Chains A and B, each alone.
Chain A
Amino acid sequence: MYDFDWSSIPGALPFLWEGMKVSLEITLSAVIFGIVWGTALAMMRLSPVKPLAMFAAGYVNLFRAIPLVMVLLWFFLIVPQVLRGAFNLDPNTDVRLTSAMIGFALFESAYYSEIIRAGIQSVPKGQVAAASALGMSYAQAMRLVVLPQAFRNMVPLLLTQAIVLFQDTSLVYVSALADFFGAAYKVGDRDGRLVELLLFAGLVYFLICFAASQLVRRYQKKLNAHVAH
């Protein structure tokens, strides 16, 4: 039987926390950017201007058809060269975190855009008609009437996507960037305690994501009860 030895975890907690901060940083920046750029993409896709709609459709379908691992490999290849070319960076500057953030942000935008598009389409047509009857322009109708309602319905889905995204940040492992998972792996590898550290990492991810998804579920129920009245 395997002899478990959990003693290397307490001492490694500060290092693991540093990793967790990297995971959270990537998640947060990708959620914010993803929602902003995702909204823009969704509006382009629904707009009557053909080239814009085609660009948005192409962008979304392309990113959704490629594995995230492949997208990250692309960004770890391209972003450093672009950044170094543009800002004359020292070749030794570590731009892996920046590359990861850009990669996740652009990748997640495609998924957010689909959620937001569905949200916009769930708003009854009469609302837009009413807004233009009141003399609002298309942009005003979007900003003041459609988007506020759409976002309220979408919040649970946007948050669920954020939980998925948080789990996906572990894939920065392909660039050896020390996010929470990367840090846990390094400690386990160093101390010869990979079994314990991997189980610990799994448990931490589970607790965070389970708690978060329960909160989202509760919020969804409240929202449904509110809408029903």
Chain B
Amino acid sequence: MSYQWNWGIFLSPAASGDSTYLGWMLSGLQTTILLSLSAWVIALALGSLMGVLRTVPGKWLSGIAATYVEVFRNIPLLVQLFIWYFVLPEVLPFGLGERFKQNLDPVTQQFVSAMVCLGFFTSARVCEQVRSGINALPRGQKNAGLALGFTLPQTYRHVLLPMAFRLVVPPLTSEFLNIFKNSAVCSTIGLLELAAQGRQLVDYTAQPYESFIAVTALYLIINVVVMTLMRHVENKTRVPGYLGGK
């Protein structure tokens, strides 16, 4: 049993004719990055909104936000993805699902489902981080804001959130790393991101080790790049006077 290594395989023309196997991999990398970044935007926006709702007085709003978190945290990502992709277009009312299936090409359908799925999934985690950031602030800050005549929304906007967001940058970094790793799950609905390109490469080249080593290395590079970038952001946003502060 001896394995024939052939690293030159990446430079040979791919079966699609218009590219090399290296080109396939890079297009997968591009999809992974685009998918993760766009899902991250959704996750941050929704997660911040829900995180704020978790902390407002009154049972109703915080109850809705708590339910939201439980739903997205207790169903496996893969199942959520399949529900977004296979179930939702079928059951959406007013012909929205029909329009989604008919007007968008398959690749766009996969990308949109994957993006929304990853975004919502991650938003539940972001929500919990934002909530703990707001709760970590001394009670006096909110009271001081209200005493100065701010309304509750103004207190959040000008007093609580600017501090809370700076406190939660480190835990959000690990969620940001997770979204890149979780994006690999989207290969299961046929979206040709990095992991899917890796599997396709195995089928077309019969060189499984080179393909997987290259794809794994690309994930490691993503990891290092994101960590380096976020360390920069963490240094910039660190709050002086707190543990780990300047």
Contacts and interface: CB of A to CB of B under 8 A. Distances in A.
Chains A and B belong together in one complex: yes
A198 B83 CA distance: 6
25 contacts: A2-B90, A62-B220, A65-B181, A65-B219, A65-B223, A66-B216, A66-B219, A67-B219, A68-B181, A69-B184, A69-B185, A69-B187, A70-B219, A73-B195, A74-B216, A77-B208, A85-B1, A181-B78, A198-B82, A198-B83, A202-B75, A202-B83, A205-B74, A205-B79, A210-B74
Contacts of B180: 67
A181 B215 contact: no
B165 interface: no
B77 interface: yes
B78 A70 contact: no
Given A65-B220, A67-B195, A171-B185, A206 B75 contact: yes
Contacts of A173: 78, 188
Interface of A: 1-2, 62, 65-70, 73-74, 77, 81, 85, 163, 167-168, 170-171, 173-174, 181, 185, 194-195, 198-199, 201-202, 205-206, 209-210, 213
A6 B82 CA distance: 18
A136 B93 CA distance: 70
Nearest to A199: B87
Interface string B63-97: 00000001101111111101100110011010000
Contact of B75 (A66, A67, A77, A209): A209
Interface in B90-120: 90-91, 93
B76 A205 contact: yes
B190 to A, nearest CB: 12
A74 B208 CA distance: 9
B212 interface: yes
A108 to B, nearest CB: 14
A170 to B, nearest CB: 4
Nearest to A85: B1
A205 B81 CA distance: 14
Contacts of A70: 184, 195, 198, 212, 215-216, 219
Nearest to A203: B75
Nearest to B70: A210
A16 to B, nearest CB: 14
Given A66-B219, A195-B90, A202 B79 contact: yes
Given A77-B209, A195-B90, A213-B73, 12 more contacts: A65-B181, A65-B219, A67-B182, A69-B188, A77-B202, A81-B1, A194-B87, A202-B75, A202-B79, A205-B79, A206-B74, A209-B74
A122 to B, nearest CB: 16
B219 A167 contact: no
A170 B78 contact: yes
B166 interface: no
B106 to A, nearest CB: 17
Nearest to A166: B76
Contact of A167 (B76, B91, B198): B76
Contacts of B209: 77
A77 B188 CA distance: 17
B128 to A, nearest CB: 12
Contacts of B238: none
Interface in B150-192: 180-185, 187-188
Given A67-B219, A70-B212, A195-B90, A168 B184 contact: no
A206 B71 contact: yes
Interface string B193-218: 00100110010000011001001100
B198 A73 contact: yes
Nearest to B208: A77
3 interchain residue pairs of minimum CB distance: A67-B184, A209-B74, A167-B76
B111 to A, nearest CB: 17
A85 B2 CA distance: 12
Contact of B91 (A69, A81, A195): A195
Contacts of A168: 76
A66 B90 contact: no
A96 B56 CA distance: 49
